[in-house]
Chain A
């Protein structure tokens, strides 16, 4: 603003100085020499004054020059034809100079505007790189646009942006004061894939200028201005909208990629679970079918004791089958991200209840803190995890040897350990088995423990804990459950 006032003052000053000089030199100089001063003043004033004011000053000056300095003085009509031509030439040269100067000044303003736009575009690009939140980006866009003088003049602006998701969304988030019918303009701009409204050459009668936010294939919303936009501003704003559209495209592509990876992972896990389940179901079923068919076919050949033994096998395998199906059901529930309901439980009570379910309880040695202790967990799930670990130790560990179940509290964490006397697995084998099961490799569960371990792992994760294995000094599975602070006793 100050620069403009200064330029105006200088321009007027130059004209005044020129006129002062011409009047002083009138007595000594010929009017043709005085015309040089007029030309010099006109050229300099064209640089400093606004074009219209410079033109006005020029017209007034040449007329006054003619009236004051060209014979007959005090008249606008020269006597001599050569004086008339001189005056016409003087006026023409000054007009050409003025026009050239005006043109240069317009180009200069445009160049400055373009440089500013370039800087803003660069800034916008940086914002798009640094921010991932579309809500923030819409707000950034409005701030960027209204931070310039032209933006302030054209405000209030409005933005409609769709929620970005792998599936096409038609739900808009809106910024600014919207009216329902304005959304029809957004839909139309998206469908036409071009700007619409006054001055755009499309839907000229529409009340707003609507600039669509376009990706390569999808449209994500629009920027709406209630004012007619200058051509340069409209093109520049459309460029910013296009950049936002490209960002939305990238974000959507990333989402699609993540979804595809998750789906692939889920498919692999499902395959692994089906393979494990198939194995875990077939083994007891084979015994049940074998024993029952033997009973049916060989009823007369089998002694009463042999028949009882076969029935016992059928009963035991059916019990095992029941546990496998229970594991599978629980795994499916945990896999569906259902919230796990936890409460404060007594460690001793949990172990007592667990022991009452074990057929091989005489093999199990318990190591618990002497006093009753509270643990924050889902007792049904932890019971199932410990049962699986104990049963695995019983089935696959050395026969008729002690299995140790211990629980102790350390570093805000309850550590449950199931240790068998032998080396049923090495650490590497256990890790490989866990990892391979989770990655969907069928070979990972040759002995049918995959499903049980997967469930233990899922239960540990559901409690934000971990299941780990160590082979030192003998096979030990550890279930770590982080704990919140104990509640205050009222």
Chain B
């Protein structure tokens, strides 16, 4: 059965365009033009119907911020939320992700990017209740988190504890953006969140050991001004 999407967007042209494109792709779409209408739809959803699979939520709505609706989103529930925003600063994105959003789209965006984000969000929600991966595999790179083993095309690769900790953080959220503040905090501690040079230097070392390139990355992708993304785990 195809996924069901709740689209909350006040701009009629964009709403119709997205609705048509999503329907064309096989998604079932219900739309709302304001926070009030979205709340009404959520409250009066018949009990026999499952919750929506995806919320596509515009932040700037005529009767308030879309962030208010994020409070109604259960963190471990089956519904994923993708926020449509006009701002792509790290602080803003971090706020949205902390508030419970599963992803974001910065205006303007193309439908191909939208479809990719929806697929990713659905995968993540599907994996949300599963335990953290113990193994990672992608294009010849294999990592066993339990035994701290890393191999590249079958050859063992030695990583320092910090490099391994960095890679582990990215593996835990492979395929997703991990903010640089999050990486610094998880690997070096909360006091190091402003020390971006640690991250750059260790990421460069990690790339060098894995034979990855910053110019044409295979595994470690840079999201300018935000953080890093590890290629999706082929085992998930």
A interface vs B, CB < 8 Å?
318, 322, 343-346, 348-355, 366, 368, 372, 374, 378-380, 383, 486-487, 489-490
Contact = CB atoms under 8 A, between A and B. Distances in A.
Given A318-B108, A344-B197, A353 B204 contact: no
B200 interface: yes
A353 B203 contact: no
Interface of B: 88-89, 108, 194-198, 200-201, 203-204, 207-208, 213-217, 222-225
B186 to A, nearest CB: 17
Contacts of A486: 197
B200 A346 contact: yes
B196 A353 contact: no
Nearest to B89: A380
B108 A489 contact: no
B200 A344 contact: yes
A355 B88 CA distance: 19
Given A348-B215, A352-B214, A379 B204 contact: no
Contacts of A372: 200-201, 204, 207-208, 214
17 contacts: A344-B196, A346-B203, A346-B204, A346-B222, A349-B222, A350-B224, A351-B215, A352-B214, A352-B222, A353-B224, A372-B201, A372-B207, A372-B208, A374-B197, A380-B224, A487-B197, A489-B201
Contacts of B194: 343
A490 B194 CA distance: 14
Contacts of A318: 108
A409 to B, nearest CB: 15
Contact of A353 (B89, B213, B222): B222
Contacts of B223: 353
A490 B188 CA distance: 11
Contacts of B217: 352
Question: What 8 pairs between A and B have smallest CB-CB spacing?
Answer: A372-B204, A348-B214, A344-B197, A380-B225, A343-B196, A349-B222, A352-B214, A346-B200
A385 to B, nearest CB: 12
Contacts of B204: 346, 348, 372
A378 B225 CA distance: 8
A483 to B, nearest CB: 12
Given A352-B222, A353-B222, A353-B223, A374 B201 contact: yes
Nearest to A318: B108
A4 to B, nearest CB: 73
B201 A345 contact: no
Most A-side CB within 10 Å, residue of B194, B201, B222: B222
Contacts of B195: 487
A381 to B, nearest CB: 9
A322 B196 contact: no
Contacts of B214: 346, 348-349, 351-352, 372
Nearest to A381: B225
A351 B198 CA distance: 19
Nearest to B205: A372
B222 to A, nearest CB: 4
Contacts of A368: 215
Nearest to B107: A322
Contacts of B108: 318, 322
Contacts of A344: 196-197, 200
Q: Which of A349, A352, A379, A383 has the most CB of B within 10 A?
A: A349
Given A351-B214, A368-B215, 13 more contacts: A343-B196, A348-B214, A349-B200, A352-B213, A352-B216, A354-B224, A372-B200, A372-B207, A374-B197, A374-B200, A380-B88, A383-B224, A490-B198
Contacts of A378: 225
Contacts of B200: 344-346, 349, 372, 374
A353 B177 CA distance: 14
B114 to A, nearest CB: 15
Nearest to A345: B200
A352 B225 CA distance: 13
A365 to B, nearest CB: 12
